[in-house]
């Protein structure tokens, strides 16, 4: 692949958006490659978690602005759907996706990070939804996911002002879960991915699914949680987890 590198380290996948001369801007070609990689990760029984990061000084500086310039209304709609499909595949993947934000995460780049399950940021990271500066609005999920993840007021502030925020501010509003020294970003992300990769994959998948649906299900969300909890209790992984607890050892869910 030309624009998206993929590396497998035992139970962890590492995805690097690799178009540094354009700050990893997401053209249709980059998105197509990302879609293939995400689908491969989701189907790979050996993988439990995956990290998405960027090459060079940006995570992703947005959708490709030159390409947006060529689009008419219909093309804009189609391009929005194309990116939304890829980002929803990340959000709904049975694997845990961590965004390791190494620099600019603007527009579609911030939306890509939002589609991941949580965000680890370098102290150099910059977040923002600057689309209004270009006379357009976000189209790859920010109006939906940002409001759900940081609340309506911050979502409106970021989307309507186009202001950029640094990693500390992003941490303070709950957009980022951990800020680390720039040089340690990948080590930290890999450590967290490894911690997750030791857990029972079925429990991870069911818990993620239940959390993902928490906003839409209302009171039925509790019933849904109970249903998925039942599935986790019925899984062979639960036998190992509880046996290991009483044997005072770490569980091994991958025998």
Active site residues: 111, 131
- 192 binds ligand CO8 per the rule CB under 6 A: no
CA dihedral angle for residue 146, residue 17, residue 133, residue 70, rounded to 10 degrees: -120
How far apart CA 50 and CA 8 sit, in angstroms, is: 9
- 32 binds ligand CO8 per the rule CB under 6 A: no
Residue closer to ligand CO8 by CB (options 54, 138) is: 138
How far apart CA 119 and CA 71 sit, in angstroms, is: 31
Contacts with ligand CO8, 112-151, as mask; x by CB under 6 A: ------------------xx--x---xxx-----------
- Cβ-in-10-Å burial (0-12, 13-18, 19+) of 235 comes to middle
- Report, in Å, the least distance between residue 125 CB and ligand CO8: 12
Which residue among 30, 38, 47, 63 contacts ligand CO8 (CB under 6 A)?
63
- 54 binds ligand CO8 per the rule CB under 6 A: no
Residue closer to ligand CO8 by CB (options 68, 197) is: 68
Q: Which residues of 107-185 form beta strands (DSSP E)?
A: 118-122, 126-128, 164-166, 178-180
Q: Count residues contacting ligand CO8 (CB under 6 A)?
A: 24
Which residue number is nearest to ligand CO8 in terms of Cβ?
Answer: 107
| H-run or E-run covering 197 | helix 185-197
């Amino acid at each position: 692949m030309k624009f998206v590198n993929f590396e497998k380290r035992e139970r962890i996948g590492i995805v690097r958006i690799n178009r540094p001369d354009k700050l990893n801007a997401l053209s249709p070609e980059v998105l197509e490659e990302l879609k293939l990689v995400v689908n491969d990760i989701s189907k790979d029984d050996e993988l439990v978690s995956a990290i998405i990061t960027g090459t060079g000084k940006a995570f992703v500086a947005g959708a490709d602005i030159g390409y947006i310039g060529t689009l008419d209304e219909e093309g804009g709609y189609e391009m929005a759907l194309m990116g939304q499909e890829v980002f929803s595949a990340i959000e709904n993947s049975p694997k845990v996706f961590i965004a390791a934000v190494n620099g600019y995460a603007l527009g579609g780049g911030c939306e890509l990070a939002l589609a991941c399950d949580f965000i680890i940021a370098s102290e150099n990271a910059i977040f923002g939804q600057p689309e209004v500066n270009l006379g357009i609005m976000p189209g790859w999920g920010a109006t939906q996911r940002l409001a759900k993840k940081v609340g309506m007021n911050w979502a409106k502030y970021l989307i309507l002002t186009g202001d950029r925020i640094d990693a500390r501010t992003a941490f303070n509003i709950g957009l980022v879960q951990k800020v680390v020294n720039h040089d340690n970003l990948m080590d930290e992300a890999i450590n967290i991915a490894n911690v997750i990769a030791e857990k029972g994959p079925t429990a991870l998948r069911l818990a993620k699914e239940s959390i993902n649906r928490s906003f839409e299900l209302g009171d039925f969300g509790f019933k849904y949680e109970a249903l998925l909890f039942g599935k986790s209790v019925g899984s062979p992984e639960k036998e190992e987890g509880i046996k290991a607890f009483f044997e005072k050892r770490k569980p091994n869910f991958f025998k």
